[in-house]
Chains A and B, each alone.
Chain A
Amino acid sequence: MLLIQCPYCQEDRPEIEFQGAGEAHIARPANIADISDAEFSEYFFIRDNTKGIVFERWRHTHGCGRFFNAVRNSISDKFIMTYKAGEPKPELTEEQIKAAAPISKKPAADKPEPSPSKAEKAK
C-alpha cells in the first residue's frame, strides 16, 4: 500500500484514502467541440504510460476530497513529490530523480530514521 502525501492536508496518508485518477497534465481542449476525431482520441484515450517518471492525478477521496498531482517512479513506485492541481508540471532535480530510483546504495548506519507522520500514527 502506497503512502501518499496530500499537498492540501500536508500529511502522509495510506493509499486506501485516495483514488487514482490517471495521467496528469492532459488539459481538456478549450474548443473541444471543434477538434478532430484524431485529436479527441489523443485527448481521451492515448496515454504516455511511461516506464519511469510518471505524472499522475490522485483524489484524496476519503480525506479533503481534493484532486492533486503526483510525480512517481513507476518502476519503484516511489513518489518524488505531490503538488496541487493547477500547478505547472515541475522540473525535477537529479537528486529527486535519483531518490526515487528502484535501488540505492546501502544506507549509512544509524542515519536519523524518518518518523512516520503524526497523521498516520493517529490512524
Chain B
Amino acid sequence: MRKFSGFALARETMRAHKGWDRQWDNPEPRAKYEVIIIGAGGHGLATAYYLAKVHGITDVAVLEKGWLGGGNTGRNTTIIRSNYLYDESAGIYDHAIKLWETLSQELNYNVMFSQRGVMMLAHNVHDAQVAQRHIHANRLNGVDNEWLDRDAAKAYCPPLNISSSLRYPVMGAALQRRGGVARHDAVAWGYARAASAMGVHIIQNCEVTGINQDSNGQVTGVETTRGSIGASKVGIVAAGHTSVLMEMAGVRMPLESFPLQALVSEPVKPCFPCVVMSNTVHAYISQSDKGELVIGAGTDQYTSYSQTGGMHIISHTLEAICEMFPMFSRMKMLRSWGGIVDVTPDRSPIIAKTPVKGLYVNCGWGTGGFKATPGSGHVFAHTIAKDEPHKINAGYTLERFTTGRLIDEAAAAAVAH
C-alpha cells in the first residue's frame, strides 16, 4: 500500500499523479475463503479490516452486490455521537468514537472526522428530563455530554432560533462535544484500501443468492452471481437486506426495512458550526466540509426496498429546520435520496452468532449505524474470529427478543405523557 501524505502528494504532482496505485484490488473470487463477509458497506469493510489487523485472519472475502460503500454508508447524514442511555449502547458507541478519533492515522486515509459537537435540543419539560437522564448516565459511563441552557445553546450554534414565540421553543440542549461528522465515502474507501492491502478480497458486483450448509447445518459457503464460494464462517452485514439473506439460511429475523431519506442544500460558505438534532420536531442538520447543509429526514411508515420515499417526509423535516433556523427558508434543496434501514423492535442492533453454526449477523442499526462503524466492525470481527461475542456486544443478541432483555433506547426517550 502506497503511503498517503502531503509529501507523497507533492512528489506525485511532479509526475502528473501517474504513480498512484489502485486503492483496493479488484480480484476474481477464489473458490474458498476462511471468512466471507456479505456486504461491503462501512461495517462490513471494517469487519474485514479488523479480522485481518487484530485477528490475523486475512483469508477473507467481502462480497458486495453493487459497489462498495454504495448502500447506507454512502447515503447517511454522517452524524457521530455516543451519548446513549444504556450501558450497552454507551459501550459500543463510545468504543466507536475512540476508534474514530485515530481512524485517519490508523487507516492512512483522511476520513475527516470533525468533532464539531452534537447538540440535541430539548423543547419541553419531558425532553429536558430525558436529556438530563442521559447526561447523568453518560457522565458515570465516562461519556461526555453536558446540559446547555437556551442561551448557551444559541452561543454554541448562533443560527438557532431561541425565540419563545416558537411553536416549540428551545428550552436547552444536551451537547456532546466529542460528537461530530465524518466523510462517509472516505470511511468505506479507507477501510477497503487498508483491508485490501492486507490481502482481503473485496469482490464487487457479486450478489449472494444462497447460503450453503452441510448436513449438520454448519455453513459451508455461499452461492453468488459469480459462482459458489466456500467458507466455514459467513458474516452478514447487509443492513436493509439482512432479512432476505438470513432467510436463505432459514433464519427469520426481528427486523423491518424502512425507507429513510436525506437531502443536502446547495453549498454555501460556513454558516453552521455543529450538528443539531431534535427528536421532538424531527430534524438533523449539519454543514459538510463542502458547504452543503446535510439534513436527515425520518422514515416512511411502511416497509420498502425501493430506496425512495414520500416527499411529505422531506417537507416535514424541512418545516422543522426552518422553524429552528428561519434564515434557511431561502436555501435550496440540491439533492435528496433514500436508503433502506433495518430496524429491530428495540431500535438497537444485533451483533451476534445465529442459530446456524458458522453464520454471524450484524444488523438492525436502523437510522444510526454510521456512527458505530469502527466499533461495530471491531467487535463483529472478534465475534467471528473467536466464535463468541466481545464483552461490548455481549448484550446485542438475537435471544433478547425471546428473553425480553431489550436495549430499548427509543422507549427510554420517546414516551410522551
Contacts and interface: CB of A to CB of B under 8 A. Distances in A.
Contacts, number: 69
Interface string B270-307: 00000000000000000000000000000001111110
Contacts of B311: 1
A38 B256 contact: no
A50 B310 CA distance: 20
B401 A49 contact: no
B310 A48 contact: no
Contact of B254 (A46, A51, A77): A46
B254 A56 contact: no
B312 interface: yes
Given A48-B243, A51-B244, A20 B301 contact: yes
A47 B306 contact: no
Contacts of B253: 46-47, 49
B402 A41 contact: yes
Contacts of A22: 256
A74 B243 CA distance: 13
B310 A74 contact: no
A74 B401 contact: no
A77 B257 contact: no
A38 B254 CA distance: 12
B401 A41 contact: yes
A74 B306 contact: yes
Given A45-B345, A48-B252, A20 B402 contact: no
B243 A49 contact: yes
Nearest to B242: A49
A47 B363 CA distance: 14
A15 B310 contact: yes
Contacts of A42: 252
Contacts of B303: 49, 54, 56, 74
B231 to A, nearest CB: 24
Nearest to A49: B243
B257 A49 contact: yes
A50 B342 CA distance: 12
B308 A77 contact: yes
Given A1-B312, A15-B310, A46-B254, A51 B305 contact: yes
A2 B147 CA distance: 41
A48 B251 CA distance: 10
Interface string B29-61: 000000000000000000000000000000000
A51 B241 contact: yes
A75 B305 contact: yes
Contacts of A16: 312
Contacts of B403: 37
A45 B254 contact: yes
Nearest to A37: B402
Interface in B379-417: 401-403
Nearest to B313: A1
Given A41-B401, A47-B256, A48-B243, A77 B304 contact: yes
A19 interface: yes
B111 interface: no
B264 interface: no
A75 B306 contact: yes
A23 B255 CA distance: 11
A5 B248 CA distance: 33
Contacts of A77: 302, 304, 306, 308
Nearest to B308: A77
B152 to A, nearest CB: 37
A38 B398 CA distance: 11
A76 interface: yes
Given A19-B301, A20-B301, A74-B305, A47 B312 contact: no
Interface string A49-93: 111001010000000000000001011110000000000000000
A44 B310 CA distance: 28
A46 B252 contact: yes
Contacts of A1: 310-312
Contacts of B243: 47-51
12 contacts: A41-B401, A41-B402, A42-B252, A45-B401, A46-B401, A47-B254, A47-B256, A49-B255, A49-B303, A49-B342, A74-B305, A77-B302
Interface of B: 241, 243-244, 252-257, 301-306, 308, 310-312, 342, 345, 401-403
Given A22-B256, A74-B257, 9 more contacts: A1-B311, A1-B312, A16-B312, A23-B256, A47-B256, A48-B243, A49-B255, A51-B243, A77-B302
